[in-house]
């Protein structure tokens, strides 16, 4: 296996998130690599703000609140898992886009994610894992999740 310097774990807070994290942790320890955790808030703006040229204040406040909650959840998750040195990140948008962009912006050389999560089952991989697989500029490890 290659040497990795910066590993990204895509955390969806599903029941399998710990299993995914543990696999990433194992590889990170072996490679002495940086470990970043990313959760993407899947935010759908209210219908009226989609069609209005200016964004409603409700949209901005809701999104900020959701990001704040996600930040707290990720912090709690990392404390529960006793991750002392992991870098924690939250973004909003479509997970497949945000995960791919994050990897490019932060020069990650491995992404670890679950084969399946909340978005249902495609033939081989969940929808996020299979979308990311086709865009990813680095190695990707899909941890087998039994459904
Ligand atoms: P899914 O597409 O829901 O089957 O999820 C497959 C994997 O994609 C999950 O195990 C996570 O690693 C990752 N993933 C899905 N949704 C998110 C999200 N909102 N934020 C971060 N990672 C995610």
Q: What is the CATH number of the domain that holds 26?
A: 3.40.50.620
Is 70 inside a domain boundary?
yes
**What is the per-residue pLDDT across 98-125, written as a single tens digit (0 to 9) for each?**
999 999 999 999 999 998 766 655 555 6
Q: What is the pLDDT of residue 134?
A: 77
Is 36 strand, coil or helix?
strand
Q: What is the pLDDT of residue 136?
A: 80
| Distance (Å, whole) CA 136 – CA 127 | 14
10-residue mean pLDDT series, the chain (147 residues): 89 94 96 97 68 58 86 97 95 92 95 79 64 82 84
Number of domains in the chain: 1
Centroid of ligand 1 to alpha carbon of 65 (angstroms): 21
Is 124 inside a domain boundary?
yes
pTM for the structure as a whole: 0.87
Is 36 inside a domain boundary?
yes
Centroid of ligand 1 to alpha carbon of 117 (angstroms): 6
Determine if ligand 1 sits within 6 Å of the CB of residue 109: no
Instruction: State which ligand 1 atom lies nearest to the alpha carbon of 122.
Output: 4
Is 50 inside a domain boundary?
no
Range of the domain at 19: 6-45+58-144
Q: What is the pLDDT of residue 33?
A: 97
**Ligand 1 pocket test target in 95, 124, 127 with most atoms within 8 Å of CB:** 95
At residue 42's C-alpha, the angle toward residues 41 and 44, to 5°, is 130
């Amino acid at each position: 296996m290659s040497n990795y310097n910066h590993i990204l774990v895509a955390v969806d807070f599903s029941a399998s998130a710990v299993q995914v994290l543990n696999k990433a942790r194992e590889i990170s320890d072996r490679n002495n690599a940086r470990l970043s955790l990313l959760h993407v808030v899947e935010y759908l703006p209210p219908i009226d703000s989609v069609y209005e040229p200016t964004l409603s204040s409700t949209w901005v406040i809701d999104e900020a609140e959701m990001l704040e909650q996600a930040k707290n959840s990720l912090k709690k998750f990392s404390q529960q898992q006793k991750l002392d040195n992991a870098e924690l990140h939250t973004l909003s948008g479509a997970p497949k886009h945000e995960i791919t962009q994050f990897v490019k912006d932060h020069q990650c050389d491995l992404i670890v994610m679950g084969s399946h999560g909340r978005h249902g089952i495609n033939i081989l991989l969940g929808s996020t894992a299979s979308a990311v697989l086709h865009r990813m500029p680095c190695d990707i490890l899909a941890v087998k999740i039994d459904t």
